[in-house]
Amino acid sequence: MLELSDNIGEKLVKLARRAVEISFEKRSLELEEELCSKETDELMKEKMGVFVTLHTYPEHELRGCIGIPYPIKPLCRAVVNSTLSAAFEDPRFPPLRKDELDGVVFEVSVLTPPERIEYGSPQELLDKIVPFEDGLILEIGPFKGLFLPQVWEQIPDKGEFLANLCFKAGLWDKDCWKSKDARVYKFRVVAFEEEKPRGKIKRVSLHKSC
């Protein structure tokens, strides 16, 4: 199980906000290097999967969410890269404006390496999924979709969760997850978020009731 201290969580969320603030100042294409090249914390140099989510405040509506699910970049660089993508490249939203910075909160989720779920039937797949703990990746051919564990708060039913994951992958058959060609992976996260813009940073609880 992935373990991160509250101090590291605070550092990651502050890094995410700082990356966006600096991008407005200079639009540098080398922000990963600028913010991470002098990093001395060994954990920040470990390769980990990361997702960064922006929500409006106080409405808590999604404003951007993009990440790197597999551990291919050092943690610091993965946070910077994912943050800039979530803020400026999420195709569901216009790029974040500077005047929005005081009206959004940042959330950083660090992922365990995704593991393929082996199953022989749709019911066996359902039995192996733990709501509010497992994030899921669905792959069918070139199509791929991912939901963080936080999505269980909006979709607590396992079948509906997988059906919506089909839509997220760009497959408009809600039962696509039952296909023999489907590959499903699960992962866990440790997540931290701002309580308000530039406010206290807290650990996100992923064990909420339905």
Per-residue pLDDT of the chain (210 residues; tens, 9 = 90+): 688 999 999 999 999 999 999 999 876 668 899 999 999 999 999 999 999 999 999 999 999 999 999 999 999 999 999 999 999 999 999 999 999 999 999 999 999 999 999 999 999 999 999 999 999 999 999 999 999 999 999 999 999 999 999 999 999 999 999 999 999 999 999 999 999 999 999 999 876 432
Task: Give the start-to-end residue ranges of the domains of the chain.
Answer: 6-112+189-203, 115-187
pTM confidence score: 0.94
Residue 195 to residue 198: CA distance in whole angstroms? 8
Per the CB < 8 A criterion, the answer to whether 192 and 10 are in contact is yes
pLDDT recorded at residue 2: 84
**Closest residue by Cα to residue 88 from 34, 149, 21:** 21
Q: Could you tell me which CATH number the domain at 115-187 has?
A: 3.30.1490.150
Count of C-beta atoms within a 10 Å radius of residue 167: 13
137 and 125 Cβ atoms separated by less than 8 Å: no
In the chain, the amino acid numbered 196 is: K
pLDDT of 63 reads 98
Alpha carbons within 13 angstroms on the beta-carbon side of residue 9 total 19
Tokens 């791929």 map to which residue? Answer: 144
Class of domain 6-112+189-203: alpha beta
Task: Report the run of H or E that residue 105 belongs to, with start and end.
Answer: strand 104-111
Q: Identify whether the C-beta of residue 149 lies closer than 8 Å to the C-beta of residue 158.
A: no
Calpha distance 161→183 (Å, rounded): 15
Say if CB 116 and CB 35 are below 8 A apart: no
CB burial of residue 109 (10 Å; 0-12, 13-18, 19+): buried
